Amino acid sequence: MRRYLRPIKLIALAALGIVGVSLIWLAMADAAADTKLEQAIAKLKEQGQPTSLADLARKPVPPDENAATYLRRAAAELAAIETIVEAAIDELDESQRTVYYATMEAPESLQQVLQRVFVEHDDAIELLDEAAAQDAFDPQLDYDQSPTAFLEDYLPTMQQVRRPLRVLNYRVAMLLTDGKREEALDTCLTMFKLCRHFDERPLMVAHLVSIAVRGVAVAATNQVLRSGPLPAAAHDRLETELARQDLDAAYMHTLSTERAYGIDTFGDLDAQVRFLGVAANKADLQDYINLFKGLIARADQPNPEVIEWIDSQQTGALTGLLLPATKALLSAKARMTAKLGSLRILNAIARRNLMPGDETPALSELGLPVEVLVDPYNGKEMLVRGDVVDATVYAVGSNLKDDGGRVNEMDDGEFLDVGLGPRND
């Protein structure tokens, strides 16, 4: 019997040895993961970067200097305006809605509603102008809570970003229909100023909303510029404001705040289920930190190159969930960069007060910074097609091909070209 037991004992001892070695290896891997994480987070702190939600809190802004104060005061009236105008738009027939959305020229029934509602709620516009005029914006978010609780409180506030731009867009339509082009342009400037404030909100979801509402301002301004001549001073005011639209800074702010939120989310998950007690999960957090490090390092690269880099990443499960949102953010930023560049080019052309048949000037002759003229997709020069009055200004888009200025046509979910076309587009 002993002869048979001896091999079993040897096998058992070998198994125990393997288990022991495995445990030692796991402990060493865990310790190495701990050290690597601690070093990565310590380095961020040394650079003055936020590494938690609490780090995003800022010194309070005096209420009368805070743009958010005036937006809150206007909130109820903005909601009332939106309710009334949307009901009036719903009453239009399909052809009237098509004309309104394409040209921002309001049919008579809608124009009457717009004129009445903006007289009845004129203080709402004054409050929006006051908000836009402030240098500081502090939405006074509560960062002293868990990531989950913060997001539950935060997401409903996105309406505070969308509604002011929608209401101002109605006002642009009313003014354009009345032939008050310069007043309409000044309303567009208010929209852009508010967008700069909204860029200060944290997280990727907020930046996507900020880009979306900035698109409303771009589209409205495109309509104004094509509606008829404006004084040179009006074009100068627009260029001054557009030059302050810093998407690159907003993008870096978004990455910084999203990274801090994510680090806290990993920590919160660990507190609940000991998530980071496993070396693989610590590696996932390291992947998360490395993802943002790579995005920041590639901030100046053309959009397709950064998307290709993201697609090449092998990450842990949680970090992998963020990759589609990251690509969506990059795509939205590239589109808005192209549209803002197109708008600045269009404004510079319009300022010359050229007539139909006049030769469109070369982009290098417009007096704009070189970076404005660069296509964010391929790094080459932006493109202009058509007569100067009805010019289409655009970038090539994600397919990296000049499709002839087809800025409103899509293929496989992406615009063929990205930019601004005539009023009937």
Give dist(CA 182, CA 242) in Å, integer.
16
**Letter for the amino acid at 157?**
T
Task: Compute the Cα dihedral for 137, 140, 143, 146 and give only its sign.
Answer: negative
pLDDT of residue 342: 98
DSSP states along 303-364: HHHHHHHHHT----HHHHHHHHHHHHHHHHHHHHHHHHHHHHHHHHHHHTT--TTSPPPPGG
Domain boundaries, the chain: 249-425
Within the chain, which residues score under 50 in pLDDT?
10, 12-31, 425
Residue 368 CB neighbour total at 10 angstroms: 19
Question: For the whole model, what pTM was predicted?
Answer: 0.90
pLDDT at position 274 is 65
What token pair was written down for 209? 């909303």
Measured CA to CA, the distance from residue 228 to residue 168 in angstroms comes to 20
CA distance linking residue 47 with residue 106, whole number of Å = 52
Amino acid 277: pLDDT:
64
Phi-psi map region of 284: left, alpha, beta (phi>0 left; psi -120 to 50 alpha): alpha
pLDDT of residue 14: 47
- Shortest CA distance to 85 belongs to which of 161, 196, 168? 168
Q: What is the pLDDT of residues 314-364, one digit of tens each?
A: 999 899 999 999 999 999 999 999 999 999 999 999 998 877 777 788 999
Residue located via tokens 């030769």:
359
Residue 337 is predicted with a pLDDT of: 97
Tally helices (H) and strands (E) across the chain: 14, 5
